[in-house]
């Protein structure tokens, strides 16, 4: 059964009743995770800490109007698998465990930095008690208890995230510091950090108004609002290009701060951007109705050319700097820009019939490191796939 993560947690915030006088971010996270669990693992035991808060835009692009059903090409077979004379260098991958410094039946690796060296995840019982863990070269460090729901990690090992009360934070050089919430806003959702220490996210109010924000790991109490009210920032590349939304349209800001809308696929009225790495970004457009809900369809942008295309699978978990897309079903798949694909293997010590259900959450810029977890024996254990060409 395909268990693709077709909609990330933060994009569900708009479907949650907004409490007064504050934005109840913790409740929104819980409700969003319940819905993700149904998409990801069906009736398997609860997985409530998979992605934390903040991976995609705070603005959901749904709607009730049906969009045309796309005609999508079939995935090509990898040349490496066919033995073609024109084959690219073969890729060999191996899965291995990440150590668990604390006990907990729900232990998941969520994100990896662009180099593949730093990995961040959560370990807990699945009852909103997950502790953030940072693995550097395989060595784990448990972050202070005041840090919850990690969203991203950069090449320096700096981790950012958002607590359940809507407080943003950054963990740097063994110290936890909190991000400023812009005056007039009740909460923030932190989404991404790059190697320069630029942090992006979205400030929100109880009336559901929102504004894209830029912070710095050097000065977490300083911030800059991006664009106009109604904007959101959901990703940032290593050169400082920021992606997000402006109203209901996908948007980006250049490193010089110049903003402009991204293209929307023909036949679709709107789109959101989830994340960006290198010259690539991924997001979603609203498709047709399915089971009373709007089916969200994945799209990919080439930020260098502005080209956008629908992706031929139900959802995407992440994108590498080389344009490879991570599809996080029960046996994770990596799809190259030319449509060729490769499946990630199970653990070598386990027979295929006992391999459990795998989920992949993050991918490095070169596509050679993927992180996630496997569900078996009523528990989740964190994994890393290391690949070589």
H/E stretch holding 33: helix 25-41
Q: pLDDT category, 87, cuts 50, 70, 90?
A: low
| Residues 321, 301 contacting (CB under 8 angstroms) | no
**236 dihedral zone (left: phi>0; alpha: psi -120 to 50; beta):** beta
Residue located via tokens 């662009």: 114
- pLDDT recorded at residue 277: 97
Cα(329)–Cα(131) distance, rounded to whole angstroms? 25
Tens-digit pLDDT profile for residues 136-190: 999 999 999 999 999 999 999 999 999 999 999 999 999 999 999 999 999 999 9
Tens-digit pLDDT profile for residues 334-344: 999 988 999 99
Tens-digit pLDDT profile for residues 91-121: 999 999 999 999 999 999 999 999 999 999 9
Written as six digits, the tokens of 299 are 């799209």
Q: Cα angle at 124 between 123 and 127, to 5 degrees?
A: 140
Written as six digits, the tokens of 306 are 């502005």
Cα(65)–Cα(335) distance, rounded to whole angstroms? 30
The radius of gyration of the chain from alpha carbons, rounded to an integer in Å, stands at: 19
* Region of poorest pLDDT, from 54-68, 126-140, 211-225: 54-68
Spell out the domain ranges in the chain.
9-388
Looking at 2.40.10.10, 3.40.190.10, 2.130.10.10, 3.40.50.300, the CATH number of the domain 9-388 comes to 2.130.10.10
**At residue 351, what are phi and psi to the nearest 5 degrees?**
-65, 150
Residue 308 has pLDDT above 80, yes or no: yes
- pLDDT recorded at residue 68: 43
Distances (CA, A) of 30 to 26, 42, 95: 6, 17, 30
Exposure of 23 in the CB half-sphere (CA atoms within 13 A)? 29
Cα(311)–Cα(70) distance, rounded to whole angstroms? 9
Q: What is the mean pLDDT of residues 341-369?
A: 82
% of the chain with per-residue pLDDT over 70: 75
Q: If you write DSSP's letter for every residue of 164-193 in order, what string do you get?
A: TTS-EEEEETTEEEEPPPPTT-SEEEEEEE
Q: Mapping DSSP to helix (H, G, I), strand (E, B) and coil, where does residue 137 land?
A: coil
* Region of poorest pLDDT, from 47-51, 122-126, 142-146, 200-204: 47-51
Averaged confidence pLDDT in the chain: 80
CA neighbor of 192 nearest in space, from 237, 145, 250, 228: 237
């Amino acid at each position: 059964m395909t268990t693709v993560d077709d909609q990330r947690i933060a994009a569900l915030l708009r479907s949650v009743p907004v409490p007064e006088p504050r934005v109840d971010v913790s409740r929104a996270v819980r409700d969003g995770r319940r819905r993700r669990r149904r998409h990801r693992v069906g009736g398997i035991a609860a997985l409530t800490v998979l992605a934390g808060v903040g991976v995609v835009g705070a603005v959901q692009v749904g709607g009730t109007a049906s969009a045309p059903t796309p005609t999508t090409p079939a995935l090509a077979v990898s040349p490496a698998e066919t033995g073609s004379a024109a084959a690219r260098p073969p890729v060999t991958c191996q899965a291995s465990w990440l150590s668990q410094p604390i006990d907990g039946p729900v232990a998941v690796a969520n994100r990896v930095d662009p180099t593949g060296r730093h990995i961040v995840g959560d370990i807990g019982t699945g009852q909103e008690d997950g502790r953030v863990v940072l693995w550097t070269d395989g060595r784990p460090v448990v972050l202070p208890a005041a840090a919850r729901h990690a969203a991203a990690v950069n090449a320096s090992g700096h981790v950012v995230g958002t607590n359940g009360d809507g407080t943003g934070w950054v963990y740097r050089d063994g110290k936890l510091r909190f991000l400023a919430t812009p005056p007039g806003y009740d909460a923030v959702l932190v989404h991404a950090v790059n190697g320069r220490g630029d942090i992006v996210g979205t400030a929100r109010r109880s009336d559901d108004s929102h504004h894209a924000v830029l912070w710095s790991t050097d000065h977490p109490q300083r911030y800059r609002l991006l664009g106009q009210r109604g904007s959101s920032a959901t990703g940032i590349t290593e050169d400082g290009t920021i992606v997000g939304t402006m109203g209901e349209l996908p948007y980006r800001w250049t490193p010089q701060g110049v903003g402009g809308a991204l293209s929307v696929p023909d036949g679709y009225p709107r789109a959101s951007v989830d994340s960006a790495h290198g010259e690539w970004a991924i997001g979603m457009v609203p498709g047709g109705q399915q089971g009373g809900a709007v089916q969200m369809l994945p799209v990919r942008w080439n930020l260098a050319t502005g080209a956008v295309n629908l992706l031929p699978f139900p959802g995407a978990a992440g994108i590498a700097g080389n344009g490879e897309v991570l599809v996080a079903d029960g046996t994770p798949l990596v799809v190259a820009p030319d449509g060729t694909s490769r499946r990630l293997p199970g653990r070598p010590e386990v027979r295929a019939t006992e391999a459990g259900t795998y989920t992949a959450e993050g991918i490095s810029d070169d596509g050679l490191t993927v992180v996630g977890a496997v569900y078996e024996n009523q528990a989740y254990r964190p994994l890393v796939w290391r690949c070589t060409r």
